[in-house]
Homo-oligomer: A and B are copies of this chain.
Amino acid sequence: MFPKNTWYVAAMPEEIDAKPLGRKVCGESIVFYRGEEGRVAALEDFCPHRGAPLSLGYVSEGKLVCGYHGLEMGCEGKTIAMPGQRVRGFPAIRAYPVVERYGFIWVWPGDASKADESLIPVQEWHDNPEWAYGGGLYHIQCDYRLMIDNLMDLTHETYVHSNSIGQKEIDETPCKTTVEGDMVITSRFMEGIEAPPFWKLALRGNHLADDVPVDRWQICRFTPPSHVMIEVGVAHAGKGGYEASAEHKVYSVVVDFITPETETSIHYFWGMARKFNPKDKALTATIREGQGKIFGEDLEMLERQQKNLLAWPERHLLKLNIDAGGVQSRKIIDRLIAEEQGGAVPAAETASA
């Protein structure tokens, strides 16, 4: 179960530069490609001629050409031409609203008449000289909500990422969860601690001492359908922490777009936007490599957790204080799904947990 009348990140732009990309989003098999003037298009990945996947074809002068028998498809799902054929009566295939923005390809897998580009969440770090960004994509066999849970409860860092970003103070410092409209915020502030290895690397990357006490913050923000942006960073202790001026801290946003492929698999777009030393491309590469390794540590845990939940479907999981971020996020998701299905709509959740 996932909301479908919403924007999901479907791809990174470079994935469709050379040839069409076939990818399933929310159970919809879609071909993404660059049509006229390089504008992204998204269609059902099904040629109306004989059912071949259009993603095995190629783009010619802005038209998607089926790689089996040469049918030329337009970006609205209507066949434009086919060698030796009159195509007017060919059945159309479904076109999906799709937009390239903020360095991603966004698709609306639901009712196209409701698609509104203004709903795509602004990514202020994108194409902004004060910021640098690096990221990647993982395919994981788990329900997208398990990844939301994961990102809204960072106590797991102490265990899953013990050698990089985990530290016992995360466990020891209570988090606070609030709900503001459709946004869920879970935050934790640690003071006067030793920076863990990943943050020592970041401090050095910003020409700051890494052997002094720091203040560390984690502010996780869920917004529907499944985006989790996490403000993270450390400042030299006593300089104001999260509010410290730029020369005393390293400040980043972990960017997580979690796109359901099926009920039990996701495309996980992860990255880090940093607001320090943005022109240092080697640092961008180093951070990206480190983050990729760290986030890869979650894969086995999530896939095995998913298998366990499928094997024990009747069990109720605990909802502790640390789980409040995920619990509240799921309530919002449930309400949006119910609204889409025209069923009873629970009252909006605004209470903090």
Interface residues, chain A, CB within 8 Å of chain B?
Answer: 29, 45-46, 48-53, 56-57, 65-70, 82-85, 90-91, 149, 153, 155-156, 158-160, 168, 171-172, 174, 300-301, 304-305, 307-309, 311-312, 315, 317-318, 320-323
**With A67-B160, A160-B68 in contact, is A321–B50 under 8 Å at CB?**
no
9 nearest A-B pairs in the assembled complex, by CB-CB distance: A83-B171, A52-B305, A51-B308, A53-B304, A51-B309, A49-B318, A67-B159, A69-B155, A70-B159
Say how many copies of this protein the assembly contains.
Answer: 3
Q: Chain B contacts of A315 at CB under 8 A?
A: 46, 51
A and B contact pairs by CB, cutoff 8 A, 21 listed? A29-B308, A46-B312, A48-B318, A49-B317, A51-B309, A51-B312, A52-B301, A52-B304, A53-B307, A53-B308, A65-B159, A66-B159, A68-B159, A68-B160, A68-B301, A68-B305, A70-B158, A83-B172, A84-B155, A85-B322, A91-B318
- In the complex the two chains form, is B317's CB within 8 Å of A50's CB? yes
- In the complex the two chains form, is A51's CB within 8 Å of B317's CB? yes
Q: What separation, in Å, do the CA atoms of A83 and B171 have in the docked complex?
A: 6
**With A29-B311, A67-B301, A83-B155 in contact, is A50–B318 under 8 Å at CB?**
yes
Q: Which residue of B lies closest to A323 (CB)?
A: B50
Q: Chain B contacts of A322 at CB under 8 A?
A: 69, 84-85
A311 to chain B, nearest CB (A): 7
- In the complex the two chains form, is A155's CB within 8 Å of B53's CB? no
Q: Which residue of B lies closest to A49 (CB)?
A: B318
Q: Chain B contacts of A50 at CB under 8 A?
A: 149, 305, 317-318, 323
Q: What separation, in Å, do the CA atoms of A70 and B166 have in the docked complex?
A: 12
